[in-house]
Structure 1
């Protein structure tokens, strides 16, 4: 079988357990005769073959070009950094992954199955395109392998989990879980936590639990002699709050104060301690300075794998004290090395250790549990510790042996390949959310089957209407009708253009005249007068690409639960730029609009659920209708391409709204949907409290929603980096001071921050 893996980590460059998993998984499959392709980002495009039957395809990350200078009229997708110039890191990387897969398919690649990591939502756009029917993707099963999703760990690391764009990355991960053809997970612990997070413990997606493959290298130092005179506990992993390092040190401090003699060696890189404004390592070094001085506490930092194995081999025992863990490969490696492991119950390490014969499992919820476990192991004779380590080695070797994992994995893959999916229902992030309670049935289809009615509200827009109508008529989709609703225009020139419109175009155009009642009423009138099964909304100054309508109708036909289809939007006329739309979902939609009103709907659903409300006279009438539609259980989905054009005019209705008008319209929307806002109140509060007033947000995957606040931070970072770069330059004559690698990193960071400053200024003055 041809197997493709999408990952952000693969040897020799990786930062954690995913990279180690990829090393062993690809080797396991390749040695069994399967052809493996690994797709991941890199500094350059390239292909390499590290082992027989393993191909590694790297695509160049767009963020490397964020500092590039471009011409003022450059389109967003013409920037060399695209899509990183319009999205934050993880959404942009996800888009690049999908693009890389499509390019490989176009060259003749034909995988039997694709597996993608959950972390960072890197499969988001690939799964979106698969469900939208992109060529070559529909028949390929996509497996999402659950490691440790962002939406689960942010709060454990004391990071505001509703801050954008990190919150949106979590939503991307949830979509991947919902949209995958199959879900794979190494531990029962993680399976339970994912189901709890997504379904509140009720029925949810099927998740197959299966250990990770791992075989210890022959050069490992298993069985190194234990030193009873200097007992050292070794912790291997990042200095991260989620890993339990704070309560671990607190426990060790109590034992040291009580006279216990042992050393704690901490091996691994550092992470941010967000709520303290320092790194975790800095915090621990400051708090436990006395223990560093007396040698009881030691930090080895991040070391090469061989050095790490040497340190573990000489440990009295290895500690895995995590507050939340999946299937930690540090535990796997320690047990393979014949080490007794003391692990918390909060993760797959407990499932690996099993009973007391292989190690100790403690529960953080039980006071003193870790202290008891440490005391017990400290008092064990060396022979007993070694015997427990030997039993641990036997247990984990059987659990992770390639031959055992391979048989189970291939059986799972074959089951997924044979399994059909609910082809008529598009996956929704809120599918398992008890707060989302759609109860209204979809109405029967209305109108002439297959006919698309393009409704164009018109008020004194004679300058633009002909170009807009011609744009719609250039559509590749047929049958199609144009319905222009004149909302009581009083400009003579516009009326003259409108009167001549039906005879000036090759296709028939119907004009419906009404008294001036506002945009909402005009849209409703157009929908009522339309004859088609499908309804396209198009403002009188906007444009669509020729294939837009055909693509939208195809999706509406395919899925019973989709009522609304739209695309990314390109700005033109008075400003360049774009809007990256996304699928509708609660609660984000309750805070901020997720699309522009250039879209296609099932007309019966618009009339039943999404009529524009005339009381929203100042604007946002389209936004409110999307909320109504989603409340009814009708989905809105986005084609991730620029297929529509939004004209930016200085005299537009939207730009004419002041803050008072915007806030009042939001108040009206909340009053219209009070019950729904109450159901999502806690999450909405955190979103707004973290990111500021939602009317100032942009797309959820954009990391510049809080630009006004972030600009000060960026300016300060720029000053610091410039000072460091200057110091490095001035110290260039002293080789011992200016390491070339460090200088390269600093200069690259300096260049990037300069680009970020330009980006901030651009965003701050972006037209609405």
Structure 2
């Protein structure tokens, strides 16, 4: 079965991604449609209309209501409000769950995601973990990544944009197939995300989406232009599309061609009224009567506007520019920006044949418009014809499953004055479904008597448990390094002395790394628990709090740790190679993950919660003193690291200017955002929705009910106070 996973689909939503998928469905045969499914990731969707348009296509809606907090294997998933870095991470988990529902019905041969937002992230992790999609080709089509647009657009970015960059890059790094519309677009995306040629090219497939016109047949030739032919801007009025360049070029053309009698038409809408007004104010007073802004054209009016005009496309980047193909195939003459890879030298767009190209500047655009009006470029552009990626035999990945084995896993537990919790931590490891495990507990000169006794009693108690004692107190980072010198296993699981690991995590992680030699770390998602809730772990769905990670968090990881907690399963040789920086008082795990990512180490991330972090009142990670010292600790973290730009090599601490807010303000902002997310989740719940609807009805139709309820509540409170006073 062929599957498209998307957050957009024409005619239900606007946007090029949805139109591209609709076009692929429109040109499919009845037989192809019968073996096609769409996984819609969103909440409001007209399923009845979809069935009318595509009666043979299977539809799966991955909505808030269908999101599962626990699966059939008893694995819990973070709720929506826990995904505080970016909602796209949660969207990807919803997509994965929707695919699993479909996979329970049908065999999935080929699944295609759009690149926008890294929607494929969670599904790809399930495949890398060996939990699903083993025989399925998971592909990502290059429409236009949000991260790349942020690089060419004028919009401000925040930490959420950095998280989206990490998700988008991770999805492209892990997918089986990369589908590019055009070769120059593929090269631009490869360069932006810094992929090596051998990795990128081995997975690259060229396939342009078909173009389907809403009205009329494809024209045989473009129009015969004249001095009355209008010049049209049909793209959305936003900075990325460069409408200001269009205005400047058209003004230059009008002044250089006084005999031209046509109009300059904006056949486009803007979501930002202030920005459109800025564009309108750019037009000189003596030329304003020559410009028209038409923002509410219907399909027929828009078709008439572009098919009888010179259409200009000034954007510096597009992955395909469907609007330009539609304009040319409808009969319009297209003037295109030659610096845009979608119109590059190796694209279907040929200067003076089926288009007029300009060099990206206003003077060049003015000259190109003069050439277009004089009748150049009469041919129609042709969409490249290549085999669809779902018809191709799967390309083998460089990673191949290793020989089946049970390599030894060493669980290292640094310990200092946590004797009250240590035994339970050890028990969680011994309860693992993976048998070939050794435990190495390193005591860092505990001073508490109970902890000292706990260490003494553990010595020799189990054949798989070894106790190592530091001769002096070394600190957490150095104690972890000591532990690495004592391990015997091929893999290491790092685990603090008060935390717990799920029974299935070690087996899951070892299976992933054994089958994927190119990967080095497996990262578990994290649920926080209080001492009183410990007995509910494994039976409960919800946790006190959550920490959600990406693994390879190269961008947002500069500012906050989205790599992992201190707990991960990794190859022993890699951890020994990297080590922990012993001069750091904290963040030694964050630092190690930063260096691992910079060295090209690869991560696999679980979607379910497999690590349980004990939230203690005295925990070093939650004390006011720790928050107050965040700035100095963060500076220590990024010391001795550099970054390059051009020929410059600079210390990484220059990024500290971007984290100038105080630690208390930063922590408060994160807490407010988390609380707001929880509140939004609460308000969207079906139970609360029903109560609010009932309250609204009562206020309109039976206001006496509300008055009676308030009076009853006052009476109840009074009785309760009297009872307490008698007690």
Give the TM-score category using the shorter length.
Answer: 0.7 to 0.9
Which residue of 291, 294, 297 maps to 1:300?
294
Matched, 1:518 2:465: no
Which residue of 45, 54, 58 maps to 2:57?
54
Deviations 1:464-522 (A, max 9, x none): 2222222222211112233322222222233334444469x887643333333322333
Matched, 1:645 2:612: yes
Name the SS of the counterpart of 2:408 in structure 1.
Answer: strand
Matched, 1:359 2:359: no
Aligned to 1:69: none
Aligned partners of 1:452 and 1:478 also within 8 Å = no
Matched, 1:326 2:326: no
Distance (whole Å) between structure 1 residues aligned to residue 313 and residue 28 of structure 2: 29
Aligned to 1:543: 500
Aligned to 1:336: 329
Within a 5 Å distance, the mapping from 1:482-561 to structure 2 comes to 482-501=439-458, 509-514=465-470, 515-561=472-518
Deviations 1:657-676 (A, max 9, x none): 54675444444444454589
Q: CA 1:693/1:32 → structure 2, altered by over 3 Å: closer, same or farther?
A: farther
Aligned partners of 1:61 and 1:93 also within 8 Å = no
Deviations 1:679-705 (A, max 9, x none): 99679678655565698899xxxxx99
Matched, 1:101 2:99: yes
Distance (whole Å) between structure 1 residues aligned to residue 372 and residue 598 of structure 2: 57
Within a 5 Å distance, the mapping from 1:151-170 to structure 2 comes to 151-160=147-156, 163-170=158-165
How many residue pairs are counted as aligned between the two chains? 642
Name the SS of the counterpart of 2:29 in structure 1.
Answer: helix
Aligned to 1:17: 16
Aligned partners of 1:571 and 1:577 also within 8 Å = yes
Q: How far off its partner does 1:622 sit?
A: 2.6
Q: How far off its partner does 1:63 sit?
A: 12
Normalising by structure 1, we get a TM-score of 0.74
Aligned partners of 2:445 and 2:469 also within 8 Å = yes
Within a 5 Å distance, the mapping from 1:565-714 to structure 2 comes to 565-573=522-530, 576-586=544-554, 588-593=556-561, 594-610=563-579, 612-616=580-584, 618-630=585-597, 633-656=600-623, 657-658=625-626, 661-673=629-641, 689-690=657-658, 707=670
Aligned to 2:534: none
Deviations 1:228-259 (A, max 9, x none): 67432122121122212111101222334554
Q: Which moved more, 1:93-102 or 1:572-581?
A: 572-581
Which residue of 210, 213, 229 maps to 2:210?
213
Q: CA 1:220/1:628 → structure 2, altered by over 3 Å: closer, same or farther?
A: closer
Aligned to 1:127: 124
Deviations 1:384-429 (A, max 9, x none): 58xx65x32xx43xx36xxxx4xx224x4444x3421112599xxx
Aligned partners of 1:221 and 1:309 also within 8 Å = no
Q: Which moved more, 1:664-673 or 1:181-190?
A: 664-673
Deviations 1:720-739 (A, max 9, x none): xxxxxxxxxxxxxxxxxxxx
Name the SS of the counterpart of 1:361 in structure 2.
Answer: strand
Aligned to 2:108: 111
Q: CA 1:61/1:690 → structure 2, altered by over 3 Å: closer, same or farther?
A: farther
Distance (whole Å) between structure 2 residues aligned to residue 587 and residue 316 of structure 1: 44
Aligned to 2:267: 267
Name the SS of the counterpart of 2:427 in structure 1.
Answer: helix
Which residue of 135, 138, 144 maps to 1:139?
135
Aligned partners of 1:196 and 1:202 also within 8 Å = no
Distance (whole Å) between structure 2 residues aligned to residue 64 and residue 38 of structure 1: 17
Within a 5 Å distance, the mapping from 1:148-227 to structure 2 comes to 148-160=144-156, 163-199=158-194, 205-206=200-201, 207-217=204-214, 219=216
Structure 2 gaps of 5+ residues are: 69-74, 532-542, 678-727
Distance (whole Å) between structure 2 residues aligned to residue 694 and residue 531 of structure 1: 44
Within a 5 Å distance, the mapping from 1:361-440 to structure 2 comes to 361-365=357-361, 368-378=363-373, 380=374, 391-392=379-380, 395-396=381-382, 399=383, 405=385, 408-410=386-388, 412-415=389-392, 417-424=393-400
Distance (whole Å) between structure 2 residues aligned to residue 614 and residue 236 of structure 1: 59
Which residue of 295, 306, 312 maps to 1:312?
306
Normalising by structure 2, we get a TM-score of 0.78
Distance (whole Å) between structure 2 residues aligned to residue 642 and residue 559 of structure 1: 21
Give the CA RMSD over aligned residues.
3.9
Deviations 1:188-235 (A, max 9, x none): 331232233234996661233343212435646969998967432122
Aligned partners of 1:591 and 1:684 also within 8 Å = no
Q: How far off its partner does 1:553 sit?
A: 1.7
Distance (whole Å) between structure 1 residues aligned to residue 156 and residue 650 of structure 2: 14
Q: CA 1:312/1:218 → structure 2, altered by over 3 Å: closer, same or farther?
A: closer
Q: CA 1:156/1:271 → structure 2, altered by over 3 Å: closer, same or farther?
A: farther
Aligned partners of 2:225 and 2:372 also within 8 Å = no
Aligned partners of 2:82 and 2:545 also within 8 Å = no
Deviations 1:424-450 (A, max 9, x none): 599xxxxxxxxxxxxxxxxxxxxx972
Name the SS of the counterpart of 1:269 in structure 2.
Answer: coil
Aligned partners of 1:76 and 1:577 also within 8 Å = no
Q: How far off its partner does 1:547 sit?
A: 0.8
Aligned to 1:91: 89
Q: CA 1:36/1:457 → structure 2, altered by over 3 Å: closer, same or farther?
A: same
Which residue of 246, 249, 252 maps to 1:251?
249
Q: How far off its partner does 1:677 sit?
A: 12
Deviations 1:158-177 (A, max 9, x none): 1245x321122123222232
Aligned to 1:275: none
Deviations 1:605-654 (A, max 9, x none): 333432x33322x2223333334544555434322221011112221223
Q: Which moved more, 1:221-230 or 1:578-587?
A: 221-230
Distance (whole Å) between structure 1 residues aligned to residue 76 and residue 283 of structure 2: 50
Q: CA 1:544/1:164 → structure 2, altered by over 3 Å: closer, same or farther?
A: same
Q: CA 1:682/1:109 → structure 2, altered by over 3 Å: closer, same or farther?
A: farther
Q: How far off its partner does 1:300 sit?
A: 1.8
Distance (whole Å) between structure 2 residues aligned to residue 323 and residue 604 of structure 1: 45
